[in-house]
């Protein structure tokens, strides 16, 4: 199942897909019972206003559940969002000839919200990660930003570019070199590629000794480089991009820390890239 990132914008956009309050009194599926099933399946009943005795519309109900999940239960929120999208699709919400069609504006808003997080929403309501190999320039920068932000929040599937097995840091390094030098050595190993990207961004690497009077941030940059190498060592390189991307001996807590390192290093590189291009 695709892991849908939950943000304020996405929560609002998904709520619009079930909103029939302005539909001239015409009822549209999914029903409150359908929404309740998805809420319970995702384990988010504690965030459901209806379970607290409130009488509330479907859009406000979905929005409240997703808002409640953003900080404390992002994985459950993602399951709820995916289940809700599947139900809307099954009801004919994305089919213009259906009585349950949600409307072009709601669909376009959902597409835009998911696009900023690196996902495509197709005309039939199916969702998939963007194929980064088809992107370049500013569009690729934005897509990588989306992955980096999600990785910083511990989203496991954001640490590896979905479907390719390519590490997010590796993809970011290649993008940095492509942007600043016009190309990158496709055959370079992880450490070499990362080192070239760091140097292209004028970031400190452990191989270059500390200089007298250098800024304290340089020590942090060397630490980020070392942490990235450490994360790469616990990668499960036997897989093909499917399943758990970490070696089996890693605990859940260790894997989460590794994912957050991936996000932090990638985000720092992308921020420096954006600054260098101003």
CB 274 within 8 A of CB 149: no
What span, in angstroms and rounded, lies between the C-alpha atoms of 164 and 179? 21
pLDDT of residue 26: 77
Helix, strand, coil percentages, rounded to 5, for the chain? 60, 5, 40
pLDDT of residue 163: 44
Q: For the packed helices 190-200 and 217-233, what is the interaxial angle rounded to 10 degrees?
A: 160
With tokens 């404390």, the residue in question is: 72
| DSSP secondary structure of 6-31 | --HHHHHHHHHTT--TTSTT---SSP
Going by C-alpha positions, the residue among 262, 244, 242, 241 that lies closest to residue 165 is 241
Q: Please report, for residues 46, 146, 219, the alpha-carbon distance to residue 269 in angstroms, rounded to integers and kept in the order given.
A: 39, 13, 15
CA angle (68, 4, 166) in 5-degree steps = 135
Going by C-alpha positions, the residue among 242, 252, 267, 246 that lies closest to residue 2 is 242
Residue ranges per structural domain of the chain = 8-129, 134-276
What span, in angstroms and rounded, lies between the C-alpha atoms of 132 and 143? 7
pLDDT of residue 115: 85
Model's pTM, two decimal places? 0.66
pLDDT of residue 244: 64
What span, in angstroms and rounded, lies between the C-alpha atoms of 66 and 39? 10
pLDDT of residue 240: 43
Q: Mind listing the pLDDT tens digit of every residue in the chain (278 residues)? A: 457 888 899 999 999 999 987 776 778 999 999 999 999 999 999 999 988 888 899 999 999 999 999 878 888 999 999 999 999 999 999 999 999 999 999 999 999 998 887 788 989 998 887 767 667 888 888 888 888 887 887 777 666 664 444 688 999 999 999 999 999 998 899 999 999 999 999 999 999 888 889 999 999 999 999 999 999 998 876 544 445 677 888 888 898 899 899 999 999 999 999 999 87
């Amino acid at each position: 199942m695709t892991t849908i990132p939950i943000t304020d914008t996405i929560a609002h956009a998904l709520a619009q897909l079930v909103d029939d309050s302005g539909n001239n009194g015409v009822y549209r599926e999914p029903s409150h019972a359908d929404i309740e099933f998805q809420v319970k399946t995702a384990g988010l009943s504690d965030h459901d206003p209806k379970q607290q005795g409130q009488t509330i519309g479907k859009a406000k109900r979905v929005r409240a559940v997703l808002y409640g999940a953003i900080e404390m239960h992002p994985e459950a929120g993602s399951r709820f969002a995916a289940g809700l999208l599947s139900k809307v699709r099954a009801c004919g919400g994305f089919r213009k000839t259906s009585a349950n069609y949600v409307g072009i504006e709601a669909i376009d808003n959902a597409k835009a919200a998911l696009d900023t997080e690196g996902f495509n929403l197709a005309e039939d309501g199916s969702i998939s990660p963007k194929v980064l190999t088809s992107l370049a320039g500013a569009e690729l920068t934005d897509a990588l930003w989306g992955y980096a932000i999600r990785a910083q929040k511990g989203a496991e599937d954001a640490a590896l570019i979905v479907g390719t097995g390519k590490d997010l840091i590796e993809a970011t390094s290649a993008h940095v070199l492509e942007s600043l030098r016009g190309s990158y050595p496709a055959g370079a190993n992880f450490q070499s590629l990362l080192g070239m990207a760091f140097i292209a961004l004028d970031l400190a690497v452990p191989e270059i000794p500390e200089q007298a009077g250098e800024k304290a941030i340089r020590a942090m940059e060397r630490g980020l480089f070392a942490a990235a190498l450490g994360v790469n060592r616990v990668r499960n390189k036997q897989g093909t991009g499917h399943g758990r991307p970490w070696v089996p001996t890693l605990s859940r807590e260790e894997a989460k820390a590794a994912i957050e390192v991936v996000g932090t290093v990638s985000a720092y590189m992308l921020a420096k890239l954006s600054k260098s291009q101003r």
